[in-house]
Amino acid sequence: MSQSTLYGFAPNELKPGPDFTAGVDANGKWTGSQTFTCSKFDFGNTSIQAKIQVGTSATTVYPQLPIEWDFLYISSWRHEHQPGGITKVFVDYTGSSEDSPDPREPEEKEESYSMAGSLTELDMVGHPYFADMSGSEKEPIIALIKGTGRRDYASPTNIIVTDNYTGEQIGFAINTTKGLKLYDLIFNQGKTTYPASQIEWTVQKSNKAGISDENLQLLGFIDDPEGNPPVFADRNWMFTAATQNRTNANPKTTKTWSKTYTLSPPGEEWDPDLFTPL
């Protein structure tokens, strides 16, 4: 008597179990699972191995499944040899919500949004105090920082800066409250940076297409994030980072990807002349 007759399996037969399950998460990514059985002696054969190869569609390995589930594919599997010459194969499925069999899904699809805030060190000349100063008061401070000017101590009450080469005064005397405060912080206290808030907004999605070339072309430019992020006066958003992950190169692979936007520093906007696509 052949082994296939003894165990109730035709040669190289992979029997699907009745436990097929599938579900979708908030990002539109589908996952599922199913158990298959085969003869232990056939498990290592090319025919069985080809059926459970990662990337195989669910309707190929389980032909009784309606064709609408073709978007699911095998993402991983494991096997377990059991007494009686039977091998169980535990299959995990994954797939994109695109072309899913659930007609409600496109309307109910959600995207994941997150916001993160932290402190970052910025150059002192970017401080809001500096932005509020007149250009004629900024010039001497910048000259001192660059080393192209030096303080003239002949005036003890006003801070006057002269050009190293011509000896002429640069801009106006530094005598406003903000100007004197910045001068003290930079040149007396040695502070070259200040802590400023850095706020990021991240949009995450899962689908078969992944992040588009059109999206990537906006990387490094001013852009309005999806998902209605908070609005801050005198600040705007720039598309600053992108990520994409996939489990394999199969055409049906679901890709999880994200776009991260960074808010401009306090009190200033990203320059549209520099950071707008041509």
pLDDT tens digit sequence for 83-128: 888 999 999 998 875 555 554 344 334 578 899 998 888 888 878 7
Domain ranges of the chain: 3-107, 112-119+195-263, 122-193
* pLDDT in the model for residue 107: 35
DSSP 77-108: EEEEEETTTEEEEEEEEEEESTT-S-TTHHHH
In this prediction, residue 21 has a pLDDT band, given cuts at 50, 70 and 90, of: very high
Neighbours of 184 (CB within 10 A): 12
For 123, 215, 227, 235, the CA distances from 224, given in Å and listed in that order, are: 26, 12, 9, 12
In this prediction, residue 215 has a pLDDT band, given cuts at 50, 70 and 90, of: confident
